[in-house]
Each structure stands twice: as structure tokens, then as C-alpha cells.
Structure 1
Amino acid sequence: MSMLAADPDVIRIGNCSGFYGDRLGAMREMLEGGQLDVLTGDYLAELTMLILGRDRMKDPGLGYAKTFVTQIKDCLGLALERGVRIVTNAGGLNPAGLAEKLRKVVADLGLDARIAYVEGDDLLGRTDELGLGAPLTANAYLGAWGIATCLESGADIVVTGRVTDASVVVGPAAAHFGWGRTDYDALAGAVVAGHVIECGTQATGGNFAFFTELADLGRPGFPIAEIRRDGSSVVTKHDGTGGAVTVDTVAAQLMYEIQGARYAGPDVTARLDTVELAPVGPDRVLISGVTGEAPPPRLKVSLNTLGGFRNEMEFILTGLDIEAKAALARRQLESWLPERPAELEWTLARLDRPDAETEEQASALLRCVVRDPDPNKVGRAFSGVAVELALASYPGCSFTSVPGNGAPYGVYRPGYVDAAEVPHIAVLPDGSRVQIAASEQTRALQDVETPELPEPLPAKEFRRVPLGAIALARSGDKGGDANVGVWVRTEEQWRWLAHALTVERLKELLPETRSLTVTRHALPNLRAVNFIISGLLGAGVAYQARFDPQAKGLGEWLRSRHIDIPLELLP
């Protein structure tokens, strides 16, 4: 056991990054804003791994989040002065390279900091052996024990490659409290805390459905998890920062990018159906009651491949006969192309309105997206032909951009390998290497039994209003799938929602999902239902299958749809 905090029963872990490109000044804000024991940062996402893979193709010495280096140059002295350890997955595809870069930064600053890193997740050289195909990147999701080992060795900074987002929080908690590999409830509690703070300000009011209720959303503060020895935690933020921490802002992040009631990881499977939330003070929410189970026997692998080249042109259609104008443009473009690309998709966005007071309000957008392995077929051979229609097509023909060449696009898919096949290595500050064993106890992942739902709410009077009149939502991407979680605030509202918002009703409200497989999971403790919409995002975010490629706005679209709600439930 390695004490990382003065309090033996609580460790205070903050977050300063939710993605590669997040607020650059957040590390300093968190270090200056109040007391912390550990500061974490999440820089990786499925799309980020593709970006870093392309960086590494240009320069084998890259492949890590360069902005983290900038932050360390600015803040390392302050972190050391305050005794704050830093744990991050900014190593991306090259944690050893980032560690070496940080050592140079430390030397240049004239400071004394111990750097450790975790590696083993990169399976690119073994993809044939493991049956993973021939991707550009192949990274298994490691867990928290390598991080814990690095911290126990006295590391001031620990950088990793692809670990689960919550692992940067679980590792410090496990090291501080001396948890064992089978302390599943405590580990699961830390996983939930890590999941809540991993996306930064999404836990403090960012992307929050009822944002108009928040007094100060100008510059939300980043979140903090005060994790206790039993795995329970209090989510909070530094005093005087913007945003808010409420039961609903925490629930919103809990619902983000999840699937069923079992939240699987390499160290533990957390039961989200056991999570209990309660306010315990201003900007303080208690997470308790979380139970855990042995992890599944296989690790998930993030696989990114360059799928080919992509281009798009967007036509502006104004005024009358919008459908006929769109049909003419489509017919002309497809017949004028010298070669048809492998994929050619049209989308007409009817943003126009009758008798509009401005030209923009009178206009619709017709988007044509093309993809092909051959960049020439989607380059000027496509976009140049589109522009050639300018004087030969529908009245008022114009475009939102000039013609351009196609750009490469990525395809994401998950893979799975036996945990014992994946090395997990902690490289300590003195250079020694510690092999982290896979979990000895495992449990195959299965859906939980359908939970008992409350009795339906008897109601006689209804009003047709937006679902968002009483319901909150949060949505996101999981590879080619999307999730949308919906929850309400009162037991009476839950009695209605649990029975009203079925898979069939969701498909009615979101017609784009009608041909897709949709799965619903109920979480009564959170008064929530979570939907997994399989295939909505095609081959992942980099594929850009729809105009909202990460499904960020899917929940807000659902909230805007009208549905019959019992009159007694409305504000």
C-alpha cells in the first residue's frame, strides 16, 4: 500500500481533460483551485487513436498527446510543490516516447520528478496471430493495476497507453487504500467515480439537458472525486468555479456511452443498476451502493483502419420546389460523374420554411457524400463536377464550400482477445519492468435479468408536448452504435416513463432508427432507461455516417419530439 493522500480514508482525485483538445489551461486551474492528491487527464477516444496513428505514420517518435507536454511544461513545478501526482492516458500509441519526452522536460526545467509508464496494450505487431486483421492501430484496454504499481514505486507522473477511461482514477485509489484484486465492490465504486469525472466538465453542467437551470455555466469547473476506502465517493468541484454538481449532472455523465446494467472493465464489472446518488451539500453528490463482479475473461481491443477516402459537397436550395430541385441536382450529378464512387449518399435537410423572412430561413441543404478506396474518384473528379452544375441546374444553385480533394477516413471496430494474451507492463522510474498478471477470477458477461418495473401510472388527461418537458437525456457513441439514456426526477414520472418509452415508441420518435436493432435497458435506481441503437453511426465516428457522427445531439433530438404526457406530471 502506498499512501497518496494525507487522509488514510479519502483520496481526492481531480480531472483536467476529457478529450484531446480540451481546455489547455485546465491543469493549472485544477492545481491552483484547491487541494488535490492526484490529477488525472483523459486524452483518448476511438477517433483520437486514429489521429495518433496517422501522427505515428509521419513520425514514429510521435503517437502521444502533444498538448499534455505543453501542460506539463507549464505546471510541473506547481504539481510537485503541492504534492499532486499526475496520471494520464496521454501516452496514446507511444507511452514510452512520451515518458522520454517528459524526462527531457523535467531536465530542462531543472526539477526532480519521477516518471513511470504503462505499456503492453499495443497489439499491432500481433494482429495476424490474434485474428484481428490488418488495422492501422490495435490497442487492448488495460486496467488499473499497472498504474497502481507505478504509483507505489513513488512515481510523480504515470503515463499510459490505451487503458479504460476509469482506470486513471481506479489505479490511484487502489494504491492508496491497498485494495486487492478481488475487492470488487470497492473497485466498482471507483470505476463509477472514474466514469463520472473522465469527461471533465460534462459532470459539472456541460452538455446538460436542463442547462437553463444552472446559474453559472460560463466556464464550468472540472470535476473532483473524493473516493473513500469502501469505494463510495463524493463528486464535487473546486469552490468558486462555474457550473454545478447535482444529482442530475452526475446522472447525465453516468448515462453517457454505456450499454447495459453491467459496465465491464478489465479489473471489475460494475453493476450500474446498484448505483445510488444523493446530494450531500452544495456541489456535492454522494455515489454509493455500487456492487462489482469479476471481470470478463477477454479484453476489448480498439481497432482502427484507414477505410479509404471521403469527400462531400453541399448544395443550397432556396424557395419553392425544394424536392424537385434536389431531384434535379441529384440526377445531374450522378449522370455527369466519369466514374461512380464505391459509396454515394444523399441527404436533404429541410431547414426551409414557407414565406420566410430571410433567405437563409427559406433554404434547405442537399448534401452528397462519397467514399472510395481510390482518392481520385472522390477528389476533383467529384467535387469539380458538382461545381460544374452551378450554371446548368436548378434556379439559385449554389454551394456551402469550394471544391476540394478527398480526405482519408477511418473505420473503427472492436475486437476481443483473452486477457492472458495481452502483456501489461509497469515501467518504473528506475527503468525496472513489472509484469502485471491478468485477473485470475473472471465471469462471462451477460445481461442482467429484466428489473422489476413500477406499476404503470393511471392517467386520464394527457397533453402532447416535447418529451424534454420532464425528461433529461444524454447520448454518445460506442463504435458504430449510439446510446441514448433518458431519465426523470420523480417516482411518479418514472412510473410513466418506464412503460411509455419502449423500443417501439423510440423508433416512432426517431424514424432514423426504424430499420436498426434497438435494445433497451432499465435502471430503476436512476429512474432511467438506456437505449443502444446498433449501426446508427456506420463504421464509427471517423466514418462520418451522419451529420452528427458521435450522436452527441441524439438525446436532444429525442427530447424535442412530442409525446402524450400525463397532465399531472407536467410542470
Structure 2
Amino acid sequence: MVLRIANCSGFYGDRLSAAREMVEGGPIDVLTGDWLAELTMLILAGNRLKGRPGYAPTFVRQMEQVLGTCLERGIKIVSNAGGLDPQGCAAAIEKLGLAAKVAYVTGDDVTGHDLDLVNLDTGEKLAEPVLTANAYLGARPIAAALSAGADVVVTGRVTDAALVTGPGIWRYGWRPGDLDALAGSVVAGHVIECGCQATGGNYSFFHEVPDLAHCGFPLVELHEDGSSVVTKHPGTGGLVSVGTVTAQLLYEIGSPRYLGPDVVARFDTIELSQEGPDRVRVSGVKGEPAPDTLKVAVNYLGGYRNTMTLMLTGLELEEKARIAQEAIWARVPRESFDSVDVSFDPPLLRITVMDRDARKAGRAFSSAVVETGLASYPGFYGLTPPGDASPYGVYWPTLIPAGEVTARVFLDGEELTFEDESPVTAGADEPAGREPAPVTSAAVPSSEGEPTVDAPLGVIAGARSGDKGGNANLGVWVRTPEQYAWLAGTLSVERLKELLPALGALKVDRHEFANLNALNFVVHGLLGRGVAASPRLDPQAKALGEELRARPMPIPVSFVSPDGPR
């Protein structure tokens, strides 16, 4: 017997009907959903300050649609939609009046702890008042709640993969030393955590995906050894292929060692095979001891921001951009703001100011831009009306010793006593929550010396990019070992920066995933202080991969065909 675990949400705001679709579309044993991106914790903190729920109300609305059916069929529900208030979320579900046994997990809120607050990415020490601080808990509290008979388990900040690993521990009784099985479940959880991204959504080769408009959400058939099959319900749109699964595996990762509170999953050991239509087997995953620290997501209020966007058309665009800025800074001195970001991506000129003073960053700035309207460059017009500044938060990743965090599980209002087995942790010679040094291949491509043709990299390569705090990751993959040998030998950090000049001054790490025919680049600092504080037009770096795919490169002729990638 396999454990069929379905996903119905990849972010706060995902398709509201997905829970019903997954429950009614075919047999499942567990329904999961991920609501907690790093930005979401900040959004929920803002809601809480305004007297609104600190959890995701959309999850409760989904439960109104499916909870009765799930109780009838014995389908368990596990979600991190509790956000900053798991207890409140659980209470809202109980108010639906369906006699469900609802459990909630707390302990992730570490705002009262003596945190070191050294930024994992920059090494800086935080001196600002903390708005939220939540440790990434593991899967065992979820398993304990299910073992105690919970129908619904609501958590706060846990790792995304814990939503799958927890039910796996519950069903199969994995112990902390079952590293490979745990690692396999982590990989399965990573594949389905982002909803339709595993079934053809946001996929580089979207022309291969049938009926994307009705894309089905993913599910995994999880086996006792930790292997799994990724699939979707029959009759739904989308595609489950080695390509779509590879693309999702490369999403928001760093090195091949994927760190978690239960286990370190070695992504460079993953084996993928197409088992049948819309069925991809994931096997061979190796696990290593977990670090003895937990990652903590801290948010604090950074100040206020405002952005004005001008359109530049016609001739001499660079000169027009210069004139526009001179006129603006003559009215509000650039140096008067805490920070200023100017980006000119013709035909758009975007100017973002940030300051601790809401008035300086507000109408004083935006009105000054508008005042230049009849005394600036020819063809002046703006895309943003003058407005007030808005507060922004800063994401600050740090670590806490795992022993200082205690998960608590409550069921029907009573705290459970459970054996919170400590994970097998790394020894003194292993990195404690930090990733190993990046690697660079010395392999010589087998196509060396072959004639080439200039073509966009995307003719043969797919890409998937995203945000990790202030950093961005950019995964690039090809379809064959021969193409990978060329890619690994050609796409160095230096070459990447030539293709994407905006990365030129930034630190970039490069990691190899030969088993996936893929490379992963981690671009440090591209997003500044995190998504909420990023002045980029694409603040989550979602389009970075597609920008790279559009860049021309000399590609071996044998890799390129008139009909597209081979």
C-alpha cells in the first residue's frame, strides 16, 4: 500500500477550488497545502497588527468545501496555513461544526528567545526591533498529531517538505535513523509543495503542456522506502514529466545538500524516470544527518518606500533618462533619502526611494516627480500616480540551536505528550546549517571542436528561478548527458555574468547536479533585503531564468534542430 498525498496550495492566494478538485478528482489519503512563503509571514504580521487573522482565512474557506467529504473518506488534512496563529486557525475550523478532531502545532515562534541574529547571507548583526521570528520546525510533531487521531493538523512555520514527511512518518513509522527514507520524502515534499509548478505550470517548454489553463494539482504516491511517484488526477490539464519534475526540483534551492530539521536530502542522488503518462518515479535519494541548528525567518519593519515609473519613448532614451533624473533630484535631493534605486530598462525608468520617514518617501517624493511633467524630457508620461509611501519589511535569515526550540502539539484543546525523537544530527566535522562550498566542473564537453550555431540558450535548456530572502536561485537544465557535458563545461559564473550583466557585481555560487543534467546558480544580494524590500520590477526573480534562456550562445549544431530542442 502506498500513501497518496495531494497538494492543494502552493502559496497564499492559490486556486481556491483546488482542495475540492483534489478530494473529488480521485483517491487520496492526505490533503496538504503550503501557504507560508517567507513574504507571507510578513503579510500575516501586517494583518495581525490591523486586527485581522494571523492565519490564512482562505484555508478555512477550502475546509468549508471539503472537510465533510474528507471525514467521510478518512482523508487526513495537513497544512501550514496556521501562520502566526495556528490555534486561531484550528478554532476557526472547529467552528465549522463538523466534529473534526483538529490538532495544531506551535513552538516555532521564537521571538522571546535570545537570538544571535547574525544574517546567514551577509554576516551582519541585526540591531532592529524584531517583528516576527519563526523557526522552521520538522515533521515529527505532525506525525504525533496524526498518530493521536487528528483529522486535521494545522501548523505554523514548518519546512514545506514537512507536510509530506510528517504523514510519511505517521504511516510508515520511520525513526530518526531512517535517513534515506526521510530524505526521499523530503524530495517528494519539495516536488509538490508549489502546486502546479510540478505539473507544467511556469514551465520553460510550455508548448509541451496540454490544457495548461486547467492544470491539475500534483500528488505523490509515497512508498515505505521513501521513493515516490509524482502524478496528478486523470482528466486534468497539465503534464507530469521528467522535465516538469526537474524544473521544480531546481526551484529555490542552493547546493545539492538540501538542509532540513529532520534530515539532509542529497539532491545529487535523486533518480528520475518516466514510469508512464503523467507518472514520474523519484528514487535513489540518500540522506545525511540533519544540522544541529534550525533556520529562523526574522522580519522587521525597515521603513517606508515609494516607486514612480516613467515611460520613455522615441530617440535618445539614455539622455532622456538622465534629464528626467536631474529634474527630479533638483526638487528632492537624492542624498536626502536613506536609499535610492534607479533602474532603466527601456522604455521604463523606475525610481524607488526608501526612508524611515514616511513623509519624505511619500507625497514629498511622488509629487516632486509629477511636478517635472512639463519641464522634463519630450514625450513625458508616467505610469504611476502620486501617492503616499507604504511600509516595507525586511527578511533576515538566522539560526538557532535546535535544542532551544520545543514543538508543542494540541488536540481538541489538550496538549499531547509525545516522544519528540531527536533527529540524527551532524557531528562536529559537519556543517551546522550552512551549505558547503560551491563546485565548478573541470569536465571537457564531449562536443568540443564541433561546429556551433548562435541560438538562444533556451532552444535546448530549461530554467527555473526564484527568491530565497535577499538571494535568488537560477536553475538551468538540459535533456541529455551530452548536452549537460557541454552546459557544465560552458556555463561558468563568468559566462553567466556576461549573459546577464546585471549580475556582474554580485557574488554568484555555482552548483552541479549531474544526475538531473542541471546547474544551479545562487545569486547573492540580487533582491536586496528580501522580496518586500526589493526595488526590482521582478522582486522575486521569477523571470531571471527566462531572461537567461533568451540570451544567444554558440551552441553545438548537433544539439539544435529546426523543430526545437532534442
TM-score by length of 2: 0.94
- Once the two structures are TM-superposed, the CA of residue 454 in structure 1 deviates from its matched residue by 5.2
Cα distance 1:430–1:311, how it changes in 2: closer, same or farther (>3 A)?
closer
Equivalent residue for 1:50? 42
Q: Distance in 2 between matches of 1:373 and 1:452?
A: 45
Equivalent residue for 2:340? 344
- For the Cα contact (< 8 Å) 1:261–1:448, is it kept in 2? no
Q: Distance in 2 between matches of 1:259 and 1:539?
A: 18
Task: For residue 253 of structure 2, give the secondary structure of its aligned residue in structure 1.
Answer: coil
Q: Kindly provide the amino acid, as one letter, of the partner of residue 371 in structure 2.
A: E
Q: How does 1:539-554 map to 2 (within 5 A)?
A: 539-554=529-544
- For the Cα contact (< 8 Å) 2:133–2:297, is it kept in 1? yes
Q: How does 1:251-290 map to 2 (within 5 A)?
A: 251-290=246-285
Cα distance 1:344–1:185, how it changes in 2: closer, same or farther (>3 A)?
same
Q: Distance in 1 between matches of 2:58 and 2:444?
A: 52
1:479-535 alpha-carbon deviations (Å, 9 max, x no partner): 111110111101211121110011111111111111111111111110111111111
Could you tell which deviates more after superposition, 504-513 or 453-462? 453-462
Q: Distance in 2 between matches of 1:178 and 1:213?
A: 39
2:112 pairs, out of 117, 125, 129, with: 125
Cα distance 1:393–1:191, how it changes in 2: closer, same or farther (>3 A)?
same
Q: Distance in 2 between matches of 1:432 and 1:392?
A: 68
Q: Kindly provide the amino acid, as one letter, of the partner of residue 54 in structure 1.
A: G
Q: Kindly provide the amino acid, as one letter, of the partner of residue 560 in structure 1.
A: A
Q: Distance in 2 between matches of 1:49 and 1:100?
A: 20
2:207 pairs, out of 206, 212, 218, with: 212
Tell me if 1:434 matches 2:417.
yes
- For the Cα contact (< 8 Å) 1:412–1:479, is it kept in 2? yes
Equivalent residue for 1:191? 186
Q: Point out 4+ residue stretches in structure 1 off by more than 6 angstroms.
A: 129-132
Equivalent residue for 2:121? none
- Once the two structures are TM-superposed, the CA of residue 55 in structure 1 deviates from its matched residue by 1.2
TM-score by length of 1: 0.93
Cα distance 1:309–1:380, how it changes in 2: closer, same or farther (>3 A)?
same
- Once the two structures are TM-superposed, the CA of residue 442 in structure 1 deviates from its matched residue by 2.9
Q: Distance in 2 between matches of 1:57 and 1:235?
A: 40
1:523-563 alpha-carbon deviations (Å, 9 max, x no partner): 11101111111111101110123111111000000111111
Equivalent residue for 2:84? 93
- Once the two structures are TM-superposed, the CA of residue 326 in structure 1 deviates from its matched residue by 1.3
Could you tell which deviates more after superposition, 333-342 or 444-453? 444-453
Equivalent residue for 1:370? 353
1:11-61 alpha-carbon deviations (Å, 9 max, x no partner): 0000000000000000000000000000000000110000001111122x7
Q: Distance in 1 between matches of 2:375 and 2:478?
A: 53
- For the Cα contact (< 8 Å) 1:115–1:157, is it kept in 2? yes
Cα distance 1:452–1:52, how it changes in 2: closer, same or farther (>3 A)?
same
- Once the two structures are TM-superposed, the CA of residue 441 in structure 1 deviates from its matched residue by 3.1
- Once the two structures are TM-superposed, the CA of residue 439 in structure 1 deviates from its matched residue by 2.6
Aligned length, in residue pairs: 545
- For the Cα contact (< 8 Å) 1:427–1:434, is it kept in 2? no
Q: How does 1:121-520 map to 2 (within 5 A)?
A: 121-127=108-114, 134-337=129-332, 340-350=336-346, 364-429=347-412, 431-434=414-417, 436-439=420-423, 441-443=425-427, 444-445=430-431, 447=436, 450=439, 455-457=444-446, 458-520=448-510
Task: For residue 326 of structure 2, give the secondary structure of its aligned residue in structure 1.
Answer: helix
Q: Which runs of 5+ in 2 are unaligned?
A: 119-125, 562-566
Tell me if 1:84 matches 2:75.
yes
Q: Distance in 2 between matches of 1:129 and 1:505?
A: 37
Could you tell which deviates more after superposition, 112-121 or 125-134? 125-134
Q: Kindly provide the amino acid, as one letter, of the partner of residue 565 in structure 1.
A: I
- Once the two structures are TM-superposed, the CA of residue 453 in structure 1 deviates from its matched residue by 6.6
Q: Kindly provide the amino acid, as one letter, of the partner of residue 146 in structure 2.
A: L
- For the Cα contact (< 8 Å) 2:439–2:510, is it kept in 1? no
**Aligned sequence identity (%):** 54
Task: For residue 218 of structure 1, give the secondary structure of its aligned residue in structure 2.
Answer: helix
1:215-261 alpha-carbon deviations (Å, 9 max, x no partner): 22121100001000000000000000000100000000000000001
Cα distance 1:81–1:387, how it changes in 2: closer, same or farther (>3 A)?
same
Equivalent residue for 1:354? none
- For the Cα contact (< 8 Å) 1:424–1:437, is it kept in 2? no
Cα distance 1:545–1:449, how it changes in 2: closer, same or farther (>3 A)?
closer
Task: For residue 354 of structure 2, give the secondary structure of its aligned residue in structure 1.
Answer: strand
- Cα-Cα RMSD: 1.6
Equivalent residue for 2:552? 562
Equivalent residue for 1:17? 9
- Once the two structures are TM-superposed, the CA of residue 395 in structure 1 deviates from its matched residue by 1.6
Tell me if 1:75 matches 2:66.
yes
